[in-house]
Amino acid sequence: MRKIIHCDCDCFYAAIEMRDDPSLAGKPLAVGGRAEQRGVVATCNYEARAFGVHSAMSTARALTLCPHLILLPPDFARYREASRRILAIYRGYTPLVEPLSLDEAYLDVTGVDRCRGSATLMAQEIRARIREEVGITASAGIAPNKFLAKVASDWNKPDGQFVVRPQDVDAFVAALPVKKIFGVGKVTAAKLNRLGVETCGDLRAWSLADLAREFGSFGASLHRLCRGIDERPVRPDRIRKSLSVETTYAADLPDLAACRAALPALIDEFRQRFARTGEPRPVHKAVVKIKFADFSQTTAECVCAAPDEAVWMALLDEGHARRARPVRLLGVGVRFAEGAAQDDGHGQIGLFDDGPACEDSREPDNQTTN
């Protein structure tokens, strides 16, 4: 039986800003891009959340909901410095630390002797040290597996923790809304609800075969997780699957010619980022992502070990032809060849998956201010 802690700092970017400027405390605050540049909210404090503001919301919408919202640009140098200190605290308890973002991680403390071997007491001590040494608060979930620990860490936010004991797993999971299952987004949740499934308990009535018929390969995950079964280990060595950069343009690119003119600068930015990573694994695919003015998006990719500008241009042509509309966002990148180590599908988000980069995924790979 594992003892897993999921630690997650509360509104991390905003917390660092309030720590460094105490005059911001108590005022609605968001960190993100500017509205006139089609920015999005990376994170916001709880005062802003009271107005309905949340991460991944457009800054323009956030300012409509909360006109007196204080908006600050992200300062990743300060966030990374705080992250190093937080991760050092985590690793002082166990070498089995799997970071999910700058401030969030799983810790496997099975067999650790500190705090009399109590994961609950270790979580309390870790949170107290983050408060004292970093100057911000954190929440934690303690459970026998990663899925439940992550759910539990959100149970008593901010500045709290929640324990799911092994004997309580079945009842706890049965009552969970299906939207709490990792991988269930709005579309899947809506489909489940239409099928009469509101909770994990409801979902248990479905056979594995029925779930596979309705949801494909994801059906097997649904079948396991609705029963609280998650055998994934905490993996300190989880590897990156892809690398990209992307830019949201202040004004839509009106046609393919404008997109082609914008692509070289994006490719240059990607090459600089790629060089900094020192990634040793071979490239397997080249990828171009396009988000159109109506927010529909498409991804074009091809097998290519050494993509150059001509390859990305061809993918741009292919992707743009699918909609032939003005474009608000372009991205270029690569997928790496898979080695012996595999990503477990929870934590690192594929860089061309849906959704903007925000605090509770990973530090945005795109360093361009959106």
| Cβ contact 245:330 at 8 Å | no
Rounded CA-CA distance 49/136 in Å is 18
> Is residue 219 in some structural domain?
yes
Q: Are residues 21 and 128 in the same domain?
A: no
> Is residue 23 in some structural domain?
yes
Domain boundary, last residue among 235, 259, 281: 235
Q: Are residues 54 and 146 in the same domain?
A: no
Rounded CA-CA distance 356/79 in Å is 19
> Is residue 118 in some structural domain?
yes
| Cβ contact 13:361 at 8 Å | no
Q: Are residues 296 and 270 in the same domain?
A: yes
Given this model, what pLDDT does residue 106 score?
97
Residues with a known catalytic role: 104
Q: Among 82, 166, 174, 159, which Cα is nearest to 119's? A: 166
Domain boundary, last residue among 72, 89, 111: 72
CATH number for the domain that contains residue 157: 3.30.70.270
DSSP strand pairing (29-32 vs 70-72): parallel
Ramachandran category for residue 26: left, alpha or beta (phi over 0 → left; psi -120 to 50 → alpha): left
3-state secondary structure 217-281: CHHHHHHHHCCCCCCCCCCCCCCCCEEEEEEEEEEEECCHHHHHHHHHHHHHHHHHHHHHHCCCC
Q: Are residues 117 and 45 in the same domain?
A: no
CATH number for the domain that contains residue 27: 3.40.1170.60
Alpha helices in the chain (DSSP H): 12-20, 46-49, 59-65, 76-91, 119-133, 146-153, 169-174, 186-194, 200-203, 208-215, 218-225, 256-277, 309-321
DSSP strand pairing (70-72 vs 242-253): unpaired
Which residues, in sequence order, are CB contacts of 24 under 8 Å at separation 6+? Answer: 17, 18, 70
CATH number for the domain that contains residue 283: 3.30.1490.100
Q: Which domain holds residue 246?
A: 242-336
Q: Are residues 83 and 166 in the same domain?
A: yes
- Residue ranges for the known binding site for Mg(2+) are 8, 103
| Cβ contact 6:140 at 8 Å | yes
> Is residue 256 in some structural domain?
yes
Which tokens is 195 given? Answer: 């099928």
- Residue ranges for the known binding site are 8, 103
> Is residue 341 in some structural domain?
no
Q: Are residues 106 and 217 in the same domain?
A: yes
Based on the structure, what is the number of domains in the chain?
3
Given this model, what pLDDT does residue 39 score?
83
Given this model, what pLDDT does residue 14 score?
97
Given this model, what pLDDT does residue 295 score?
85
Per-residue burial over 123-153, b = 16 or more CB atoms within 10 Å of its CB, e = otherwise = bebbbebbeeebebbbbbbbbbbbbbbbbbb
Given this model, what pLDDT does residue 274 score?
87
> Is residue 124 in some structural domain?
yes
Strand partners, 99: 105
Eight-state DSSP code of residue 30: E
| Cβ contact 139:10 at 8 Å | yes
Strand partners, 330: 247, 290
- What number of helices (H) and strands (E) belong to the chain? 13, 12
> Is residue 343 in some structural domain?
no
Omega cis (within 30) before 158:
yes
Q: What are the mean pLDDT values of the chain's consecutive 10-residue runs (370 residues total)?
A: 96 97 96 85 95 92 96 93 96 95 94 95 98 97 97 95 96 95 88 94 95 92 95 85 87 94 94 82 92 91 91 96 93 81 35 33 31
